[in-house]
Structure formats: structure tokens, C-alpha cells
Amino acid sequence: MARLKFGAFLAPHHPIGEHPMLQFRSDIALAKHMDELGFDEFWVGEHHSTGWETIASPELFLAAVGEQTQRIRLGTGVVSLPYHHPFNVAQRIVQLDHMTRGRVIFGTGPGALPSDAYMLGIDPMTQRDRQDEAIGVIRRLFAGERVTHESEWFTLRDARLQLFPLQEDMPFVVASSISPSGMTLAGKYGIGALSIGSNSDAGLAALPTQWGFAEQAAAKSGKTVSRDNWRVLMSWHIAESREQARAEAGAGLMKWHNEYTVGTLMRPGAKEFTSPDHAVDETAFADGAAAVIGTPDDLVAAIRKLSESAGGFGTVLGFAHDWANRANTLKSWDLVARYVIPEIHGLLEGYRTSRQYVVDHRESFERAGQAVLSKIMSHEGAAAALKAGQEGGVAMRSPNAPDLNKAAEAMKN
């Protein structure tokens, strides 16, 4: 497989209380920060209710992000296809691809929040089938076909796009959670998948089964799916020590869980945390927990465990949240870029090997010191000057500086 890619998934989940305009600007700044740090992908969701999930149009948001970034790929995470006419979605994604110079990843889903579908008068029983229907039509439109299609929820008559994606092969991705429908669609169309239900040991254990759904559907449809196009979501907050990470994330994690997961979404079985420490313990350290609140080394171990459990995947996405304050959140992403990514990519192996080689072969390099010593001893006063410098300390010692005491012993012998 190709080298593992890294990115962020911004739903977003913002506590109510901050000025919306400044909040949007901060989210754009996060994307710019991640572009500068070298992350590969930045994903943004679509939601229309709850007060916490505040971006209604990922296309609009990513157009703004595209003007502030240079290389990071920009994913719709996701466009809820049953909420839109497929022709309009296709046109917006094509335009976005051109406006971002060919960096779009087109992610789709059926719609995550029941309150969104309710407001739009959409029967939840129809959403996944409508996502499937829309994907089929949009792929035909992207291919340049002229499409006539009569559906119970949209109509196309001899429709053809007048502009096509800048990318020769627009990346398609479908979101996958608990049900097999997302992975099945990935296999049916031979496209990528984004697993967003992997933040527990149970979720981790289910990943191979979920991928199996994609492979089975691909075989049935005569398509192929690649693990390189499989993205898996994780949650983390990283600091220099576990104690610091706990202190930074605890209160915000408790607020997010108690006010949003329990108090707003009323997720079945979810119970309020009683303290910030309780929140951290249950989220990151209890049996069955899969989030990481700790050090870069902790996250490296968790990613390797996840990859082994799943059998391999192409991209790990960190869930962007407000558990810590803004400064510590940016520092967390910085630590991931500086210490986690190079470890996972094996970028430091050459440094470590080179250092150990020097340590293990020190005797082989004695001749360099002997060459320096021979010149010193042939110059009156040089030995005394070197000895004074070594005893007094210098700003930077030469790696070839001879050990005068060792040399004196050798001369005696």
C-alpha cells in the first residue's frame, strides 16, 4: 500500500456561544494551519440543525478555504445527497474543483441528523436509496453523458453539464457508519469509503467486516475497491505529556459530551460525565475506548493498532473538536505533524541508523583525531591552546577534536 495519509474531519461540533462570523474565520484558519503543516486532506460536513453543527454548505466553505491554502486536498464530508437535486450538486462540485485548482474530493452521504431530514420533509427510510440513485446520476453527468431520468424526487430531461471537473478522475467517497449501506455503495461503484464509526474498540473490531461489505459489493458489480481509498476517522488530543493532555482536554470534552451527545442528540445509552477526569478516563482510557488523549507516542501506537486491526487503509482523519482551547488545539495538530506523521512514515529511520552507526563504530574514526593531533603537536603552543579550550569549554566542539589525555597515555606506551 501507499504511505498513510493524514487529514482532519471538521463536522464541525462547536459549543454554542461564540460569534458565528469569527467561528467561521477560525475554522478557515485551522485549514490554513494544516496546509502549512503538510497534512494531506481537510474535510467539512453539511448540517442544518442542532446549533452545534454549523456549516450548511461544505462547498461554500471549501471555496473560501481554497483561497487560503495551496496543496491540501479538500473533501466534502459529506454532501447529503437526498437534500439536493443531483444536477445542482454536480454543478457545484465541478465549479469547486476548478476554483480550488483540482483539489476536491467528493464525499457523499444520506444525511446524518434526523432533525435535518425532518425539517425538509424527507422520510428517513428513503435516504440511503436516494443517495444511491443520486450517485449513479452524478457519475453519468461527470462522464459527459446527456441524462434523462425520472424519479419520485427529481427529474432530468436531456441534461448535460456544460463544465466538467478539472480533475480527470474526480475522487468519489461515501460515508460509512453502522449500517452496511455506505460500504456497499463504495463497492457497487468502485469508489472510496470514509468510516466514521471507529471511535471505540467495538468500532475497530467491525472495520474488517465493514470492508468486507465493500469487497463483496464490488465483486457483484464487476468493480474493484482499494484500501488506499479507505479513510478512517479517529479522535485525539495530543500534548507533551498525558497529564498535560488530560488537563487541556477534560473540561471541553465533558461539555461536548454532556451538552451535545447526551443533552442535544440524546444518543441512546449515553450518560453524562461527572467531572473532566471522568470524561477523559471514559473516552480515552476505559475498556473499549479508542480515542487518544496523550502524547505523540500514544497516538503512534493507536494508529498502528488501528491499521493492524483493519488490515490497512489509506488515510487517517482526526476529528476536529473544541475539547481544548484554540491555542492548545492548534498545538495538538502541530505535534501530530512534527512527531506522529514522520514516525508513521519512517522518516526518522535514517537519522537513528546514522547516529547508531557512529556510536557503534567510534574506534573506526580515531584516525581523524590522530590527523588533527599530528598537526597540533607539530605547532609550538597549539597543544596548550587546545587543552585550555577543552577545559574552559567552547561553543561547539569539533567532532575530530583529539582526546589529549588518551594521546598522552599512548605516547607513554
Which domains can be identified in the chain, with CATH numbers?
5-348 (3.20.20.30), 361-412 (no CATH)
Q: What does the pLDDT look like over 162-187, one tens digit per residue?
A: 999 999 999 999 999 878 899 999 99
Q: Which of 124, 242, 233, 245 is nearest to 175 (CA)?
A: 233
Query: Which stretch of DSSP H or E encloses residue 285?
Result: none
Integer Cα distance of 291 and 236 in angstroms: 6
Integer Cα distance of 386 and 380 in angstroms: 12
What is the DSSP-derived secondary structure letter of residue 3? P
Q: What confidence score (pLDDT) does residue 237 get?
A: 98
Q: How many CB atoms lie within 10 A of CB 337?
A: 18
Integer Cα distance of 181 and 196 in angstroms: 13
Q: Which residue has the higher pLDDT, 253 or 289?
A: 253
Contact 130, 81 (CB under 8 A): yes
Question: Quick check: 411 pLDDT over 70?
Answer: no
Q: What does the pLDDT look like over 221-235, one tens digit per residue?
A: 999 999 999 999 999
Q: Which of 51, 172, 71 is nearest to 116 (CA)?
A: 51
Q: What confidence score (pLDDT) does residue 143 get?
A: 97
Give the pLDDT band (50/70/90) at residue 368: confident
In this prediction the pTM is: 0.93
Give the pLDDT band (50/70/90) at residue 408: low
Integer Cα distance of 77 and 89 in angstroms: 14
Give the pLDDT band (50/70/90) at residue 339: very high
Q: What is the mean pLDDT of the chain?
A: 92
Give the pLDDT band (50/70/90) at residue 260: very high
Q: What confidence score (pLDDT) does residue 24 get?
A: 98
Give the pLDDT band (50/70/90) at residue 270: very high
Give the pLDDT band (50/70/90) at residue 103: very high
Question: Quick check: 386 pLDDT over 80?
Answer: no
Integer Cα distance of 60 and 12 in angstroms: 15
Q: What confidence score (pLDDT) does residue 178 get?
A: 77
Integer Cα distance of 109 and 262 in angstroms: 24
Question: Quick check: 395 pLDDT over 60?
Answer: no
Q: What confidence score (pLDDT) does residue 371 get?
A: 76
Q: What does the pLDDT look like over 114-161, one tens digit per residue?
A: 999 999 999 999 999 999 999 999 999 999 999 999 999 999 999 999
Integer Cα distance of 224 and 405 in angstroms: 69
Integer Cα distance of 117 and 119 in angstroms: 6
Q: What does the pLDDT look like over 47-62, one tens digit per residue?
A: 999 999 999 999 999 9
3-state helix, strand, coil split of the chain in percent (to 5) is: 55, 15, 35
Q: How many CB atoms lie within 10 A of CB 347?
A: 11
Half-sphere exposure of 131 (CA within 13 A, CB side): 27
Q: What confidence score (pLDDT) does residue 198 get?
A: 59
Integer Cα distance of 235 and 242 in angstroms: 15
Contact 116, 167 (CB under 8 A): no
Q: What confidence score (pLDDT) does residue 109 get?
A: 97
Q: Which of 130, 135, 122 is nearest to 89 (CA)?
A: 135
Give the pLDDT band (50/70/90) at residue 387: low
Q: Which of 50, 67, 112 is nearest to 259 (CA)?
A: 50
What is the DSSP-derived secondary structure letter of residue 366? H
Q: Which residue has the higher pLDDT, 373 or 282?
A: 282
Q: What confidence score (pLDDT) does residue 407 get?
A: 57
CA 52 to chain centre: 21
Q: What does the pLDDT look like over 240-256, one tens digit per residue?
A: 999 999 999 999 999 99
Give the pLDDT band (50/70/90) at residue 366: confident
Q: What confidence score (pLDDT) does residue 177 get?
A: 86
Q: What confidence score (pLDDT) does residue 398 get?
A: 64
Show the beta-strand stretches assigned E in 321-361: none
Show the beta-strand stretches assigned E in 204-307: 230-234, 236-238, 292-294
What is the DSSP-derived secondary structure letter of residue 338? I
Q: What confidence score (pLDDT) does residue 138 get?
A: 98
Q: What confidence score (pLDDT) does residue 206 get?
A: 86
Q: What confidence score (pLDDT) does residue 167 get?
A: 98
